[in-house]
């Protein structure tokens, strides 16, 4: 499907849970493709529950904006470093604290 999008000169690509059906070994390959697309100026909208993947995208300067949603509503949005490192909203803080705790255990 991605190949079809690229051949048709798509201006924006929507990734809905791009890592959800992948074996762990392939996640890096998906990230590499997304990074290359970003370097080429492709606009991408990525929806994911995979915070490790989201953080990896942010750490590699692929994302310029993060939106945290809960219950179908936008709770907080902003620059990736602000959302991940210094969230303002209590719900965002709770979510990230819980996810980080799970990643460590």
Please report which helix (H) or strand (E) contains residue 70, including its range. Answer: strand 66-70
Domain boundaries, the chain: 1-64, 65-104
In sign, the C-alpha dihedral spanning 70, 91, 75, 50 is: negative
- The residues near 14 (Cβ < 8 Å, ≥ 6 apart) are 44, 45, 47
The whole-number pLDDT of residue 98 equals: 84
pTM to 2 decimals?
0.70
Per-residue pLDDT for 38 more than 50?
A: yes
**pLDDT at 105 > cutoff 50:** no
Please tell me whether residue 28 adopts helix, strand or coil conformation: helix
Place of tokens 């529950």: 49
Q: Tell me the C-alpha distance between 104 and 25, whole Å.
A: 20
pLDDT in tens, 43-86: 888 888 777 767 776 666 667 888 999 999 999 999 888 998 99
């Amino acid at each position: 499907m991605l190949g079809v999008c690229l051949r048709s000169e798509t201006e924006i690509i929507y990734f809905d849970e791009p890592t959800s059906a992948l074996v762990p070994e392939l996640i890096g390959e998906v990230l590499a493709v997304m990074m290359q697309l970003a370097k080429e100026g492709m606009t991408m909208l990525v929806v994911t529950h995979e915070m490790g993947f989201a953080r990896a995208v942010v750490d590699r300067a692929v994302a310029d904006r993060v939106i945290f949603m809960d219950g179908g509503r936008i709770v907080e949005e902003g620059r990736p470093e602000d959302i991940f490192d210094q969230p303002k909203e209590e719900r965002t803080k709770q979510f990230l604290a819980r996810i980080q705790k799970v990643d460590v255990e």
